[in-house]
């Protein structure tokens, strides 16, 4: 399959200044992600996984280096342009689901496009379709507090899909779920990748979710450990 | 998005009400104060427009009913060139008791106007002490005894018609006419002067006041000064003097209203800023998520402004409603029937509340829209 390059990070550094000390969260990270790939980012706690995800997802700025999405440098974009990228091209899934408690499942799913000029009925139909896709056709009007952890994360998956994004960034999506529920979510994401061609970038601690053919980036101390994914196999 | 704003407000009802509280109180105060002063103003202009002449009373008395003049003062005034008529008055207040009652806690003060029908008929303002017209029956005429003209409100309250009897100061009187309830003292009974003397126990040679009209109203002021010079310890007030005094008083009330309104804006605005800030800071994480999933700064600004404006609208409507209720309660207490919450006042007050909502929302909305999504989401 001829793959189109989507995200490209080059020599990305991210430093936090805390009083007199400088925390170097990323110390020169190179990452390439192509369309339709199922990508894992693994690494110990504090190694910079979330930091690179935020930068790839147009939520944060690197302090040095470049990140391009579809060949466009994101550092040069305005806050509004970045919002538009998040709205139209990217979907996010978070470890703690991050649903809006006052809204029910379908409203949470529609949330990213609620502010667009998309027709309400079309949007609603799309949201219902997605909730059915993630197996929540019977929980459409439930609020987050009325759903289990796995169900909440499935709402979040449906939400990340509402804008038909080219790429979905998931930071420890199974982190707060038991193995069985986590596996379910992971299988759902694989299915979406295969059927819709959506690109996934997933941060995880659980290497058992990784399968043959996945691309893996192992981060340690803010640097990519290259050897780790030789031949698509984790050597640690 | 409007629905989402409303849902956000409904989620924390008690806080929403708290945010509105200052606004509600402000709007309510403004509504009731303005209605009441407008009512009073209307009544004052009514009274002033009805009174045409000069009212002479004893100087420096606390209440006109305590004033005492000599009956013979009438002749002294009538001898002044330019005076067309000087009509004696005996004015006082009694409690209106139900039949058979000796005293009552609920009785309202009630004015007795004693006048000389023959003299009164010569005045330009007509046969009633406060002006206005007779609605049913007739005015008093000379030679009437034990006859009374009631105002229509009193007649209604006491269930009296023309021909009914009413007890005043121990004597029974026949109602001969019903008068329009304009301005003046509101609830009143107009009786021949000799009867008023009886009821109010005023000695034969005394009266409480004199109503004077002149040939040429432009001379009123000059003649008033002549009267004061001629009769010891007297005070002669022209309609103009009276109007000036009242208008001076009313402009003070207007200034007071301005102060109250300004305080309400400030307090209401601060109340909204305060609770909105509390509310958006609590939901920081949620706004961070919105930003992360593609909401723009403007979208978030709009959402918070909607919430704040909704608080303004709801607070305005509740405030107007409570103000209206307050006015309905005050109406019978103050005995002023013409004061109402006009639609334009209600609309203005609601608009005012919305403006306060807008102003109160600006800072919280601005602060929220600038949130860094990552910091906001990691907020615990
Ligand atoms: N806002 C910040 N200010 C200062 N230092 C930060 C900030 N955010 C992250 N860091 C630091 O940057 C480093 C990388 O953090 P990051 O959150 O990317 O780690 P992670 O790999 O996602 O860890 P985990 O697996 O625990 O989620 C850590 O040392 C962290 O302390
Ligand atoms: Mg992390």
In this prediction the ipTM stands at: 0.90
Answer yes or no: is pLDDT of B109 > 50.
yes
Output the residue whose Cα is nearest ligand 1's atom 17.
A50
Q: B20 with B155, same domain?
A: no
- What 3-state DSSP class applies to A68? strand
Answer yes or no: is pLDDT of A169 > 80.
yes
Interface of A with B (CB under 8 A): 54, 57, 59-60, 79-80, 83-84, 86-88, 90-92, 94, 98-103, 107, 111-115, 159-160, 163
Confidence of residue A113 (pLDDT cuts 50, 70, 90): very high
Overall domain count for chain B = 2
Q: B78 with B215, same domain?
A: yes
Position B97 scores a pLDDT of: 65
Position A236 scores a pLDDT of: 45
**CB-CB contact of B112 with B196 (8 Å):** yes
Whether residue B292 and residue A59 make contact (CB cut-off 8 A), yes or no, is yes
Answer yes or no: is pLDDT of A230 > 70.
no
Position A59 scores a pLDDT of: 92
Q: B71 with B218, same domain?
A: yes
B209: in domain:
yes
Position B380 scores a pLDDT of: 62
Q: Read off the pLDDT of residues B233-268 as tens digits, 9 standing for 90 and up.
A: 888 888 778 778 877 877 888 888 888 888 887 888
Q: B156 with B264, same domain?
A: no
Q: How far apart are CA B36 and CA B338, in angstroms?
A: 9
Answer yes or no: is pLDDT of A117 > 90.
no
The token pair at B40 is 């009073």
pTM of the model: 0.73
Position A180 scores a pLDDT of: 85
Q: How far apart are CA A92 and CA B379, in angstroms?
A: 18
Domain with B352 in it = 2-43+247-378
Position A2 scores a pLDDT of: 54
Selected residue of B280, B286, B290, B293 to mutate for chain A interface (largest A Cβ count, 10 A): B293
Answer yes or no: is pLDDT of A13 > 80.
yes
B8, B294, B298 member nearest A87 (Cβ): B294
Quote the minimal CA–CA distance from A52 to chain B in Å: 12
A59, A83, A101 member nearest B295 (Cβ): A83
Q: How far apart are CA B37 and CA B44, in angstroms?
A: 10
Quote the minimal CA–CA distance from B186 to chain A in Å: 57
Q: B67 with B31, same domain?
A: no
Confidence of residue A227 (pLDDT cuts 50, 70, 90): low
Q: B119 with B198, same domain?
A: yes
B285: in domain:
yes
- Average model confidence (pLDDT) for chain A? 88
Position B184 scores a pLDDT of: 47
Q: B128 with B183, same domain?
A: yes
Output the residue whose Cα is nearest ligand 1's atom 1.
A16
Position A134 scores a pLDDT of: 87
Report CA Rg, chain B: 30
Q: B182 with B265, same domain?
A: no
B237: in domain:
no
Element (H, E) at B35: helix B13-50
Report the Cα A94 to chain-centroid distance in Å: 7
Q: B95 with B223, same domain?
A: yes
3-state SS, B175-220, equals EEEEECCCCCCCCEEEEEHHHHHHHHCCCCCEECEEEEEECCHHHH
B23: in domain:
yes
Q: Which residue of chain A has the CA closest to B289?
A: A98
Answer yes or no: is pLDDT of B198 > 80.
yes
Q: Read off the pLDDT of residues B318-355 as tens digits, 9 standing for 90 and up.
A: 999 998 888 888 776 665 555 677 888 889 889 989 99
Report the Cα A20 to chain-centroid distance in Å: 33
Tell me which of B147 and B111 has the higher pLDDT.
B147
**CB-CB contact of A46 with A108 (8 Å):** no
């Amino acid at each position: 399959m001829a793959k189109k390059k989507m995200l490209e990070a080059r020599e990305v550094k991210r430093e936090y200044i805390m009083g007199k000390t400088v925390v170097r969260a990323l110390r020169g990270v190179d990452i390439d992600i192509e369309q339709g790939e199922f990508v894992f980012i693994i690494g110990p706690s504090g190694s910079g996984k979330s930091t690179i995800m935020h930068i790839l997802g147009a939520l944060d700025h690197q302090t040095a280096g470049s990140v391009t999405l579809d060949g466009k440098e994101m550092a040069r974009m305005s806050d509004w342009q970045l919002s538009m990228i998040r709205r139209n091209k990217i979907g996010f899934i978070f470890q703690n689901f991050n649903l809006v408690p006052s809204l029910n499942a379908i409203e949470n799913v529609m949330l990213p496009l609620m502010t667009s000029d998309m027709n309400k009925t079309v949007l609603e139909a799309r949201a219902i379709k997605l909730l059915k896709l993630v197996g929540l056709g019977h929980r459409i009007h439930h609020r987050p507090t009325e759903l289990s952890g796995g169900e909440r994360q499935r709402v979040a998956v449906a939400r990340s899909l509402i804008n038909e994004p080219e790429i979905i960034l998931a930071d420890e999506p199974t982190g707060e779920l038991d193995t069985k529920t986590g596996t379910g979510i992971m299988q759902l994401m694989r299915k979406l990748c295969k059927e819709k061609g959506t690109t996934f970038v997933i941060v995880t601690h659980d290497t058992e979710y990784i399968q043959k053919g996945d691309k893996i980036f192992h981060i340690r101390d803010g640097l990519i450990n290259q050897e780790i994914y030789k031949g698509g196999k984790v050597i640690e | 998005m409007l629905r989402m704003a409303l849902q956000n407000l409904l989620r924390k009802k008690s806080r929403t009400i708290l945010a509105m509280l200052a606004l509600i109180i402000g709007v309510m105060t403004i509504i009731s104060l303005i209605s009441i002063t407008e009512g009073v103003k209307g009544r004052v202009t009514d009274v002033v427009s009805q009174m045409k002449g000069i009212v002479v009373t004893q100087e420096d008395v606390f209440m006109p009913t305590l004033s005492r003049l000599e009956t013979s003062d009438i002749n002294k005034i009538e001898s002044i060139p330019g005076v067309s008529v000087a009509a004696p008055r005996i004015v006082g207040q009694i409690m209106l008791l139900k039949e058979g009652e000796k005293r009552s806690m609920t009785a309202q003060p009630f004015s007795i106007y004693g006048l000389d029908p023959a003299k009164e008929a010569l005045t330009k303002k007509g046969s009633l002490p406060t002006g206005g017209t007779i609605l049913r029956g007739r005015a008093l005429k000379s030679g009437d005894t034990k006859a009374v003209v009631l105002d229509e409100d009193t007649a209604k309250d006491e269930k009296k018609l023309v021909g009914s009897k009413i007890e005043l100061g121990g004597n029974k009187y026949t109602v001969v006419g019903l008068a329009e309830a304009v301005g003046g003292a509101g609830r009143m009974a107009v009786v021949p002067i000799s009867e008023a003397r009886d009821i109010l126990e005023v000695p034969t040679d005394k009266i409480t006041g004199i109503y004077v009209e002149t040939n040429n109203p432009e001379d009123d002021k000059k003649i008033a000064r002549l009267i004061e010079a001629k009769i010891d310890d007297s005070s002669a007030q022209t309609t103009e003097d009276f109007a000036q005094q009242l208008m001076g008083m009313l402009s003070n009330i207007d200034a007071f209203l301005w102060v109250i309104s300004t305080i309400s804006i400030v307090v209401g605005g601060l109340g909204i800023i305060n609770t909105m800030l509390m509310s958006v800071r609590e939901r920081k994480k949620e706004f961070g998520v919105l930003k992360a999933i593609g909401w723009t700064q403007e979208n978030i600004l709009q959402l918070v402004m909607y919430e704040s404006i909704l608080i303004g609208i709801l607070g305005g409507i509740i405030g107007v409603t409570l103000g209206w209720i307050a006015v309905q309660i005050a109406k019978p207490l103050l005995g002023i029937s013409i004061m109402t919450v006009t639609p334009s006042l209600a609309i203005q007050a609601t608009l005012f509340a919305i403006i306060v909502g807008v102003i109160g929302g600006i800072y919280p909305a601005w602060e929220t829209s600038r949130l860094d999504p990552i910091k906001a989401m990691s907020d615990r």
